[in-house]
Structure 1
Amino acid sequence: MTQRTDIRLSLPSKGRLGQAALDFLAEAGLRVNKPNPRQYSATIPSLPNLTVLFQRAGDIVVSVRDGSVDFGITGMDLVAEKRGENGHVLVLHDALGFGHSTLTLAVPEDWPVQNLEDLRAYAARLAHPLRVATKFPNLTATFLKQHAIPHRLIWAEGTLETAPAIGYADMISDLVSSGQTLRDNRLRPLADGAILPSQAVLIANRGALQTRPEVLSVARRLLEYIEAHLRAQENLLVIANMRGESPEAIVERIFSRPTIGGLQGPTISPVYVRDGSPWYAVTIVVRRDQLPDAIADLRAIGGSGIIVTPVTYIFEEEPPRYKAMLEALQNQE
């Protein structure tokens, strides 16, 4: 068989991750160009040597594991369920920030069961093994065994929430986001029944990264733009005018406050005013969740004319997750 020479990234073709993955990549500067919506391949103009494929989210893990695809974006739930034990699937980024859900045990709301201890006792009183419908047999079985709950798994396609009402299962193990679908079907999650929190992740084939330098190069580009975009989402650019004797005097005042130190420090430049008084413009990066405190700190040390603007990217000297990937590649698990 001829060795493949192209580089492939698989994205979910539909479902909860489909459009969200396309939107995320576009926001990160990696817009996917798919002229024909019926085609199952596309390109990323900023990465011209990369071919984008569209698959079912679960199939992406299998394709990356088997090496027919080099990279994939899918849910951590599917990665944990299908990655296998050969170490071929490497998680490059475990928190892309979309597609959040939790694999959870849920029981009929009229059961006298609130937690795993109650479930263990209830299962012992049933005339048959506890039947659990799920699309995640590996994760569910491991969790139930860890908690010593006898059970029989029922593999099910489609909507699981109806399984207890139909009667082919007693309870379910399924992904839960808001919980509204459970409530609509008179189910409720166990208080301690969360098996795995999940969100979208970026994965890669370990062998391709180790043996093909061009794949490693694309991994760096992907991680660089993704990391820069995600970090930018957490921060804002703040510019303020400030009167002071010198830049050094202003820096001293800035560093006396906890929220306005910037990434490494402030950028300070002179402001030329008509009366010749000593004014400076201070530019800093502030955490989005600390903005109210940062504004208060700036005002407290004489800041005025404060401008706040979003940040598109914040590039590091080297992406932290790229460093982590290189370390992981040295581990032959």
Structure 2
Amino acid sequence: MERNDVRLALPSKGILQHGAEDFLEACGLKVYRPNPRQYAATIPGMPGVTVLFQRPGDIVTSVQAGSIDFGITGYDVLSEKGANGGAALVIHDDLGFGACSLNLAVPERSAAQTVDDLRQWAAEAGQAGYPIRIATKFPHVTAAFLDRQAITPYRLIGVEGTLEIAPAIGYADLICDLVSSGITLRDNHLRPLTDGVVLRSQAVLIANRPALRSRPEVLAIAHHLLEYVEAYARGRGSYLIIANMRGDSPEAIAQRMFAQTSLGGLQGPTIAPVVAREHLRAASDWFAVNVVVRREHLFEAVGELRAIGGSGVVVVPCAYIFEEEPVRYRAMLDALAAEQQAATSAAGEGE
């Protein structure tokens, strides 16, 4: 049955839920959910969008099936379900929250420090007649990593509950689990292999490919989402510096700024005459300078401005920086066009 609403799925609990809601609010897309027990909500800034709350794995399945148009989930879950490359398309891979890594971790008493050590351990265990046992909730991603590293033989043990206890009670030799701070591993006397990162993950925004191609309202919401997400991401950690500076002309001041290392701005600084009071106007040689810099260069930029004559320096954090077109929206359109062209070519060859 054809739907009129556009559906966005968010994680229903845990760090990803709070991270997704906080992130969307920071992007200017606050989720309105009057009752926290309800599994449906709205975004007043995007009329026509229904927000549903699901488990991260179910979000991937729903977007893949087409019952959900957009979803925010973890890249780890997406990779485990093998959905990226199917009907689910990643349209933003750097939302900036939910960061973690899938790591191989061994008991502290183990002699294994690296993947090479694990390879030798597995080979020796195999010669003794048993494979090493690895407890994990990510069997597909883990197996792919082990195979790439030529670690054999091994046996993966699926676990629904807590993984960290598996080596201690003897039903696994090591684990492959998500790690953020590493505190849980240390509390359970485990440590990650130094080069045992199987996958790096964070929250990603995914969309249903067929819906993007066939439903204009879904494509419009994709543009809306990416417009605000990209503007927020570009603004996050950026500052607008405003200062007054004497000079013969905007071009002369620009040359002084370009000679510095931190005053290039986005496309360049904005320089405009300061309109002086009537009795000073004829002799005014003051200009207002505006330049955007990243947080890590802020104090260096302020120092450089003052060194070349800037005064009255004002610093304002940037909430959003909008471009002519979101970079990732153009990348999404290009990916869809390339896929369509490939499908058309394949169909032509098959005739």
* TM-score normalised by length of structure 2: 0.91
**Counterpart amino acid of residue 105 in structure 2:** A
Which residue of the partner structure matches residue 209 of structure 2? Answer: 206
User: Is residue 241 of structure 1 aligned with residue 248 of structure 2?
Assistant: no
Q: CA deviation at 1:265?
A: 2.0
Q: In the aligned structure 1, how far is the partner of 2:38 from the partner of 2:82?
A: 27
How much has 1:3 moved relative to structure 2?
Answer: 2.3
Mapping of residues 1-333 of structure 1, within 5 Å: 2-84=1-83, 87-126=86-125, 127=128, 128-149=130-151, 150-271=153-274, 272=276, 275=280, 276-332=283-339
Q: Cα offset for 1:268?
A: 2.0
Shift of 1:293: 1.8
- Structure in which a larger fraction of residues adopt helix: 2
Say which SS state the counterpart of residue 249 (structure 1) adopts.
Answer: helix
Shift of 1:83: 3.4
Match for 2:93: what amino acid? D
Judge conservation of contact 1:62–1:83 (CA < 8 Å) in 2: no
- Give the deviation of 1:15 after TM superposition: 1.5
The separation in 1 between residues aligned to 2:307 and 2:167, in whole angstroms, is 61
Tell me if the contact between 1:12 and 1:55 (Cα under 8 Å) persists in the aligned partners: yes
Between stretches 37-46 and 298-307, larger displacement belongs to: 298-307
Counterpart residue type for residue 310 of structure 2: G
- Cα distance in 2 for residues equivalent to 1:286 and 1:121: 50
Report if the CA contact (8 A) 2:70-2:206 is conserved: yes
- Give the 3-state SS of the residue equivalent to 2:291 in structure 1: strand
Structure 2 unmatched ranges of 5 or more: 343-351
Pick which of 254-263 and 219-228 moved more.
Answer: 254-263
Alpha-carbon shift at residue 289 of structure 1 (Å): 1.4
Partner of 2:349: none
Contact 1:65 1:83 in 2 (8 A): no
* Alpha-carbon distance, 1:229 to partner: 0.1
Q: Give the deviation of 1:85 after TM superposition.
A: 6.9
CA deviation vs aligned residue, 1:276-306 (integer Å, no higher than 9, x gap): 5421211111122111221122112111111
- Distance in structure 1 (CA, Å) of the matches to 2:248 and 2:85: 64
Matched AA of 1:97: G
Give the Cα–Cα distance (whole angstroms) in 2 for the partners of residues 331 and 205 of structure 1: 16
CA contact (8 A) 2:84 2:90 kept: no
CA contact (8 A) 1:96 1:199 kept: yes
Take 2:138 and 2:338, find their aligned partners in 1: how far apart are those partners?
A: 28
Structure 1 contact 237–310 (Cα < 8 Å) conserved: yes
Call closer, same or farther: CA 1:85–1:268 in 2, change over 3 Å: closer
1:17 aligns to what SS in structure 2?
Answer: helix
TM-score, normalised to structure 1, is 0.96
Instruction: Kindly state the Cα deviation for residue 5 of structure 1 after the two structures are TM-superposed.
Output: 2.7
Aligned residue-pair number: 332
